Amino acid sequence: MIKYRDLSIKLKLISIQLFTTLFILVFFVGIYLYSQYRQFETVAFNRMSTLSEILGSNSISALLFFDNDAAEDVLKSLKTQPDILNAAVYDHDGLIFATYSLPSAKGFSFNNPVHEGRAVTNSHFVLTERIVFDNLKVGWIALRLDTKNRKAALVEALWQSFLLFIAGLILAALLSVRAQKPISDAILSLSEIAKRVRDSGDYALRLKATSQDELGLLVDTFNDMLEKIWHHEKHLEELVSERTLELEEAKTRAEESDHLKSAFLASMSHELRTPLNSIIGFTGILLQGMAGPLTDEQKKQLGMVKGSASHLLELINDVLDISKIEAGRIDIHGEAFMVDLLVVMAVSSLRPFAEKKGLVFNHTIEPNLPPLHSDKRRLEQVLLNLLNNAIKFTSEGSVQVNCYRRDDSLVIDVIDTGIGINEKDISTIFETFRQIDTGLDRVKEGSGLGLAISKKLSELLGGTLNVKSKPGDGSTFSVVLPLNLESETNED
Ligand code: ADP
């Protein structure tokens, strides 16, 4: 059911006017009917009073000469008044002197003793008056009137009121339809324009004010607001095209600098790595004594040169790798290879470093692993980095590598019993240039790029790199890679 508050403004205004009119009409019709009811009584008693006066004065001589028949003859004249049911004349002492009754009302007798006055019952009026001659009371006269005419009069009044009521309502409806028009039209066109603005976004639309009242003010204010929004929108459009232009320029500049960066990286790769490789190579030759014998001090100094150059080369390689990954320019070369071989090679190459620190360095490989389809060099890079870290951050205990299959994935766990990582640091260790402050003087040992590169490479290979760690207990880094068994079956 539709609620009143949801009706249109037009219907609300019409209904307000109609209900007000209805209320006024009901009120006045009620007053009219009541007055009609009262008026009937007044008119009836006035007529009865006039009749009793005439009949009384006509009965005086009959009363004075005790002539009952004459009095009854006087009363018989009431036959012309069919609503007078009974009449009676009393003598001076209040004794019945003459009576009159319509045949239908025979058997009725007036109250005894006689009292002057009026009585009203549901269906009758009774009037009793004195008969006076020369200021002396000579008798009484009583009349009884049937009030059935009152009902007929009321029904007639009701009909009249009903017709008036209907006419009033029709008139009010016509008037209210006409009278609400200026108000509802203004509000409806205001809401219509607001809807069109909302739907089309056209802020150039305007409304015409038709009056100088509050509605006119509302329309003017609405137009002002549209005007302002329209200006803002225009300004915004200009601003957007201005900013777009700036952005395009910035993009071009960024592309240029990206190009420059690539060129720089390429040249850095050549300009820095080539001489560094030469330094490492030549110091190696010198250290092997191929250019002549060296003193112990010279060997020590040259060893330091070689170490620093190797560290620098690693750093440069890391920076180049992360730059390439971030620029999306790293190439992944997928091939099928035996992962157990790769693990064995990586473990063997780092075993001397682990043993030098007195660490137990073991590995387990699940037998009959299927060949892995991935980039061998990149996976090796990840594994070496994890192993390096494990050895670097473990001063006693062990480093363990486990390689096994889990569902359709290959998992390589690198488990150490080293210093571990705080929970709050776990999310940051994979960010670039992040090194956790462990209180150890080991910052120079790394670039803070190894894990960032490893994680991104693992993801590029379609896998993940995760860590579980507890400070003091050690860490477990897990590389999980898809085995791509389908392509293996296809190739087979
Ligand atoms: P870094 O070159 O410093 O090793 P990484 O990105 O490889 O850079 O590692 C980031 C940081 O994560 C390290 O500085 C270290 O604090 C922490 N970390 C990495 N591996 C381990 C590990 N096995 N045990 C404890 N901490 C580790």
> Among 291, 326, 361, where does a domain finish?
326
pLDDT bracket for residue 485 (50, 70, 90):
low
Q: Which amino acid is at 13?
A: L
Helices (H), 201-295: 214-287
pLDDT at 486: 59
Structural domain contains residue 487: no
Structural domain contains residue 491: no
> Both 458 and 365 in a single domain?
yes
CATH number for position 158: 3.30.450.20
Is pTM, for the whole model, over 0.75? no
435 within ligand 1 shell (Cβ under 6 A): yes
CATH number for position 308: 1.10.287
436 within ligand 1 shell (Cβ under 6 A): yes
Look at the chain and report how many structural domains it folds into: 4
> Both 350 and 461 in a single domain?
yes
User: d(Cα 53, Cα 49) in Å, to the nearest integer?
Assistant: 6
429 within ligand 1 shell (Cβ under 6 A): yes
pLDDT at 319: 82
For residue 104, what is the DSSP state? Answer: G
User: d(Cα 182, Cα 190) in Å, to the nearest integer?
Assistant: 12
> Both 349 and 271 in a single domain?
no
> Among 214, 234, 254, where does a domain finish?
234
C-alpha count within 13 angstroms, C-beta hemisphere, residue 423: 0
> Both 47 and 114 in a single domain?
yes
> Both 17 and 163 in a single domain?
yes
**The ligand 1 atom nearest the CA atom of 453:** 6
434 within ligand 1 shell (Cβ under 6 A): yes
> Both 31 and 160 in a single domain?
yes
In this structure, which residue's CA is closest to atom 14 in ligand 1?
435
Q: Strand 124-133 and strand 335-337: pairing?
A: unpaired
Q: Check if the beta carbon of residue 394 is closer than 8 Å to that of residue 474.
A: yes
List CB contacts of 384: < 8 A, sequence separation 6 or more: 346, 349, 350
**298-344: pLDDT as tens digits:** 999 999 999 999 988 888 888 888 888 877 778 889 999 999 999 99
pLDDT at 253: 93
Residue 479 in this model has a pLDDT that exceeds 70: yes
Structural domain containing residue 102: 1-179
457 CA to centre of ligand 1 in angstroms: 16
**The ligand 1 atom nearest the CA atom of 394:** 24
pLDDT at 492: 40
Structural domain contains residue 490: no
In this structure, which residue's CA is closest to atom 19 in ligand 1?
389
**77-127: pLDDT as tens digits:** 999 999 999 999 999 998 999 999 999 888 888 887 788 899 988 789 999
pLDDT bracket for residue 153 (50, 70, 90):
confident
414 within ligand 1 shell (Cβ under 6 A): no
User: d(Cα 137, Cα 134) in Å, to the nearest integer?
Assistant: 8
269 CA to centre of ligand 1 in angstroms: 25
Structural domain contains residue 492: no
> Both 58 and 141 in a single domain?
yes
Q: Check if the beta carbon of residue 77 is closer than 8 Å to that of residue 56.
A: no
> Both 307 and 391 in a single domain?
no
**404-437: pLDDT as tens digits:** 999 899 999 999 999 999 998 998 999 877 777 6
> Both 191 and 257 in a single domain?
no
Residue 491 in this model has a pLDDT that exceeds 50: no
451 CA to centre of ligand 1 in angstroms: 7
pLDDT at 443: 43
Q: Which residues of 358-393 are buried (b: 16+ CB within 10 A; e: fewer)?
A: ebebebebeeebeebbbbbebbbbbbbbbbbbbbbb
416 within ligand 1 shell (Cβ under 6 A): yes
Q: In the chain, pLDDT over 90 holds for what percent of residues?
A: 55
Residue 154 in this model has a pLDDT that exceeds 90: no
Structural domain contains residue 430: yes
> Both 318 and 390 in a single domain?
no
- C-alpha distances in Å from residue 485, one per residue of 6, 119, 367, 412: 65, 118, 17, 17
Arithmetic mean of pLDDT over the chain: 89
pLDDT bracket for residue 199 (50, 70, 90):
very high
Structural domain contains residue 186: yes
For residue 400, what is the DSSP state? Answer: E
Out of 424, 432, 451, 476, give the residue to mutate to test ligand 1, the one with the largest number of ligand atoms within 8 Å of its CB.
Answer: 451
Residue 354 in this model has a pLDDT that exceeds 50: yes
Sheet strands (E) in 83-160 = 84-91, 96-101, 117-120, 124-133, 136-146
Structural domain contains residue 489: no
> Both 293 and 275 in a single domain?
yes
pLDDT at 204: 85
For the sheet containing 360-365, what is the strand order?
Answer: 360-365, 398-406, 409-416, 474-482, 464-470
In this structure, which residue's CA is closest to atom 2 in ligand 1?
446
pLDDT at 404: 96
Return the SS3 of 223: helix
> Among 326, 348, 380, where does a domain finish?
326
Q: Which range, of 148-157, 260-269, 320-329, averages the lowest pLDDT?
A: 260-269
Structural domain contains residue 307: yes
**212-242: pLDDT as tens digits:** 888 888 889 999 999 999 999 889 999 999 9
Beta pairing partners, 401: 363, 414
What average pLDDT score do residues 343-371 get? 95
> Both 58 and 162 in a single domain?
yes
**24-68: pLDDT as tens digits:** 989 998 998 899 888 889 999 999 999 999 999 999 999 999 999
